[in-house]
Amino acid sequence: MVDNRKVGVLGGGQLGRMLIEAANRLNIQVNVLDAASSPAKQISAHDGHIEGSFKDSAAVKTLAQASDVVTVEIEHVDTHMLEEVASEVVVEPSWKTLRTIKDKYAQKHYLKEHGVDVADSIDLEGKGVEGLKEVGTTYGYPYMLKSKTEAYDGRGNFVVKSDADVDAAFEALGKRPLYAERWADFRIELAVMVVKTKDGVLTFPTVETVHEDSICKLTYAPPRNVSESTAQSAQALAKKAIGAFEGKGVFGVEMFLLKDDSLLINEIAPRPHNSGHYTIEACPISQYDAHLRAILDLPISQSNLRLREPSIMLNILGGQTPDSHVQVARKALESPNASVHLYGKGDARPGRKMGHITVTAPTLAAAEHEIHPLIDFVDAKKGKKTTTPSPRSETSLSTKPEPLVAVIMGSDSDLPVLKAGLQILETLHIPFTTRITSAHRTPDWLRTFSKSASATSLRVIIGAAGGAAHLPGMCASWTTLPVIGLPVKATHMDGWDSLVSMTQMPRGEPVATVGINNSTNAALLAVRILGAEDREIRERLRVWMEGNEKEVLRKDGVLLGGGGRLI
Amino acid sequence: MVDNRKVGVLGGGQLGRMLIEAANRLNIQVNVLDAASSPAKQISAHDGHIEGSFKDSAAVKTLAQASDVVTVEIEHVDTHMLEEVASEVVVEPSWKTLRTIKDKYAQKHYLKEHGVDVADSIDLEGKGVEGLKEVGTTYGYPYMLKSKTEAYDGRGNFVVKSDADVDAAFEALGKRPLYAERWADFRIELAVMVVKTKDGVLTFPTVETVHEDSICKLTYAPPRNVSESTAQSAQALAKKAIGAFEGKGVFGVEMFLLKDDSLLINEIAPRPHNSGHYTIEACPISQYDAHLRAILDLPISQSNLRLREPSIMLNILGGQTPDSHVQVARKALESPNASVHLYGKGDARPGRKMGHITVTAPTLAAAEHEIHPLIDFVDAKKGKKTTTPSPRSETSLSTKPEPLVAVIMGSDSDLPVLKAGLQILETLHIPFTTRITSAHRTPDWLRTFSKSASATSLRVIIGAAGGAAHLPGMCASWTTLPVIGLPVKATHMDGWDSLVSMTQMPRGEPVATVGINNSTNAALLAVRILGAEDREIRERLRVWMEGNEKEVLRKDGVLLGGGGRLI
| Domain locations along chain B | 7-91, 120-182, 186-396, 405-533
Beta bridge partners of B339: B358
Between positions 288 and 327 of B, the ones with CB within 8 A of A are: 293, 298-301, 303-304, 306, 308-309, 326
Q: Mean pLDDT across the stretch A134-140? A: 92
Q: Between A337, A339, A512, which is nearest B484 by CB? A: A512
Q: Are B234 and B80 in contact (CB under 8 A)?
A: no
**Residue B566: what pLDDT?**
42
Residue A557 above 60 pLDDT?
yes
Q: Are A406 and A458 in contact (CB under 8 A)?
A: yes
CA distances for A455 relative to A225, A229, A363, A435, B452, angstroms: 7, 13, 10, 17, 33
Q: Mean pLDDT across the stretch B195-215? A: 95
B330 touches chain A (CB under 8 A): yes
Residue A341 above 60 pLDDT?
yes
Q: Mean pLDDT across the stretch B162-166? A: 91
Q: Are B318 and B98 in contact (CB under 8 A)?
A: no
Cis status of the peptide bond prior to B223, with omega within 30 of 0? no
- DSSP strands (E only) in B49-200: 50-51, 69-72, 90-91, 121-123, 143-147, 157-160, 178-182, 186-196
pLDDT: which is higher, A405 or B127:
A405
CATH H-level superfamily of A120-182: ATP-grasp fold, A domain (3.30.1490.20)
Q: CATH code for B186-396?
A: 3.30.470.20
Dump pLDDT digits (tens) for A168-219: 999 888 888 999 999 988 999 999 999 999 999 999 999 999 999 889 999 9
**Residue B521: what pLDDT?**
96
**Contact: B521, A539; criterion CB under 8 Å:** no
Compute the distance between CA of residue B119 and CA of residue B179 in angstroms, rounded to an integer. 12
Task: Please give, rounded to a whole number of angstroms, the shortest distance from the CA of A524 to a CA of chain B.
Answer: 7
Report yes or no for ipTM above 0.85: no
Taking contacts as CB-CB distances below 8 angstroms, the residues of chain B near A535 are 222, 228
Cis status of the peptide bond prior to A39, with omega within 30 of 0? no
Task: Please give, rounded to a whole number of angstroms, the shortest distance from the CA of A493 to a CA of chain B.
Answer: 15
Cβ count within 10 A of residue A303: 12
Cβ count within 10 A of residue A400: 10
Dump pLDDT digits (tens) for A384-418: 765 544 443 333 334 467 899 999 998 888 899 99
**Residue B560: what pLDDT?**
63
The helix or strand, by DSSP H or E, that contains position A163, with its residue range, turns out to be none
Q: Are A430 and A537 in contact (CB under 8 A)?
A: yes
pLDDT band at A567 (very low <50, low <70, confident <90, very high): very low
Give the CA-trace dihedral at A372, A373, A379, A382, to 10 degrees.
-150
Task: Please give, rounded to a whole number of angstroms, the shortest distance from the CA of A108 to a CA of chain B.
Answer: 33
A511 touches chain B (CB under 8 A): yes
CATH architecture under which domain A405-533 falls: 3-Layer(aba) Sandwich (3.40)
The class that CATH gives domain B7-91 is: alpha beta
Q: Between B334, B524, B530, which is nearest A510 by CB? A: B524
pLDDT: which is higher, B384 or A351:
A351
- pTM for the model: 0.81
Compute the distance between CA of residue B487 and CA of residue B471 in angstroms, rounded to an integer. 10
**Residue A565: what pLDDT?**
43
- In terms of Cα–Cα distance, which of A547, A544, A535 is closest to A425? A544
Percent of chain B with pLDDT over 70: 95
**Contact: B1, A530; criterion CB under 8 Å:** no
pLDDT band at B390 (very low <50, low <70, confident <90, very high): very low
Task: Please give, rounded to a whole number of angstroms, the shortest distance from the CA of B544 to a CA of chain A.
Answer: 10
Q: Out of 3.40.50.720, 3.30.470.20, 3.50.50.60, 3.20.20.300, which CATH number does the structure's domain A188-396 have?
A: 3.30.470.20
Dump pLDDT digits (tens) for B184-197: 889 999 999 999 99
Compute the distance between CA of residue B49 and CA of residue B62 in angstroms, rounded to an integer. 10
Secondary structure of residue B103 in the 3-state scheme: coil
Compute the distance between CA of residue A241 and CA of residue A256 in angstroms, rounded to an integer. 14
Same fold, A7-91 and A405-533: yes
